[in-house]
Amino acid sequence: MGIKTYRPYTPTRRFITIEDFSDITKTEPEKSLTVRLFKKSGRNNTGRVTIPHRGGGHKRFYRIIDFKRDKINIKGKVTGIEYDPNRSSRIALIEYEDGEKRYIIQPEGLKLGDEIISGPNAEIKSGNALPLENIPVGTTIHNIELIPGGGGKFTRSAGSWAQLMAKEGNLSTVRMPSGEARFVPIKCMATIGQVSNLDHENVSLGSAGRKRHLGFKPIVRGTAMNAIDHPHGGGRGKSKGNNQPRSYSNVPAKGYKTRHKRNKWDWMIVQRRGGNL
C-alpha cells in the first residue's frame, strides 16, 4: 500500500493525499455482517450535545468485527481484504471450515488465501490468536483483551502494536503503543502481529470539505462567540478577559483534574506513558 498524490490543478489539491487502496481485494461488504449505523451528531440519549463539532458526514454501515476470536481450533481462510469506514485499519473477511464468516482486523502481512486459527496450540504467526500464557515473551501483538473473554480492547488502530514483556503468576506485562506498561491476565487473548495500513498516519486531508465528509464540523474559537455561548465569549476586541481558560462546558482547561477517584483498573498500570509511575 502507498500514498497517492495529485497534480496541483487547484490550491487545495496540492496538499491532498489519499491511500491508493492497492491492498483492497473486495469492494462490497458481506451483507450478513453489516448493520445500519445511525448518526448521533455528538448528542446523548436526551438530545443534549455532549461532544461538540460532530455531525453530517457520509452514510456508513457498521461492519461486525470479531474481537473475541473465540472460534477455537477451527481453521479459517482469508477470502477478502476490505476497507472499513468506521476504523483506520483494514478488515479481513474470514471463512471458517464450518461455513461461518467473520470479520477480523487485518494484521500486517495477512494476504488473500492465508489460513488463520485461534487457540492455545496455534502457531506463532501473524493473524493467529492465542492466550498470552502461550505467546513467547517479546512477541509483537495487537487486539488485546483486558478481561478474559471480554474481546480485544487495546491496540486496534492502523499500524499499532504492543509487545509482551514478561509473565509472572497469573499476570503478564504488556508494553502498549503509548509506552505505558501494564498488567494483563495471562488468560486474555491477543492476536499475533502488527495492525495493517501503516501508511494511514501519512495521509493529509488537505481540505475542510474532506473533514466534513468524515463527520466533523468546524471548531469555532470561544473568544469569537457571544458571552451566552462560551465562557470566553463577549467583551470588546479579541481578549477573553481575566478568565481562567475553560472549555465549551465551563470545565477548566489547564491543570484541572477531572478524575475524582481512582479507576478500578489503575492497579494494573506498571508504568504510565512518559515514564512516570
Instruction: Specify which residues 4 forms β-bridges with.
Output: 18
Instruction: Specify which residues 157 forms β-bridges with.
Output: none
Question: Three cell numbers at 154?
Answer: 487495546
Instruction: Specify which residues 36 forms β-bridges with.
Output: 61
d(CA 194, CA 191): 9
Mean pLDDT of 126-130: 95
d(CA 77, CA 169): 35
Question: Three cell numbers at 17?
Answer: 493525499
pLDDT, tens digit, for every residue of 206-264?
999 999 999 999 999 888 989 898 888 888 888 767 778 988 888 898 888 887 777 77
Identify the H or E element spanning 213: helix 208-213
In terms of Cα–Cα distance, which of 180, 123, 183, 103 is closest to 147? 183
Question: Three cell numbers at 211?
Answer: 473533514
Mean pLDDT of 164-189: 94
Give the rounded distance of the alpha carbon of 82 from its chain centre: 16
Helix (H, G, I), strand (E, B) or coil at 40: coil
d(CA 245, CA 256): 10
Domains of the chain (ranges, CATH numbers): 3-201 (2.40.50.140)
Give the rounded distance of the alpha carbon of 129 from its chain centre: 19
Evaluate if residue 2 carries a pLDDT over 90: no
Which residue type, as a one-letter code, is found at position 60?
R
In terms of Cα–Cα distance, which of 231, 260, 234 is closest to 247? 231
- Using a cut of 0.95, tell me whether the model's pTM lies above it: no
Which residue type, as a one-letter code, is found at position 217?
K
pLDDT, tens digit, for every residue of 44-68?
999 998 898 999 999 999 999 999 9
Classify residue 231 as exposed, middle or buried by CB count within 10 Å of its CB (0-12, 13-18, 19+): buried
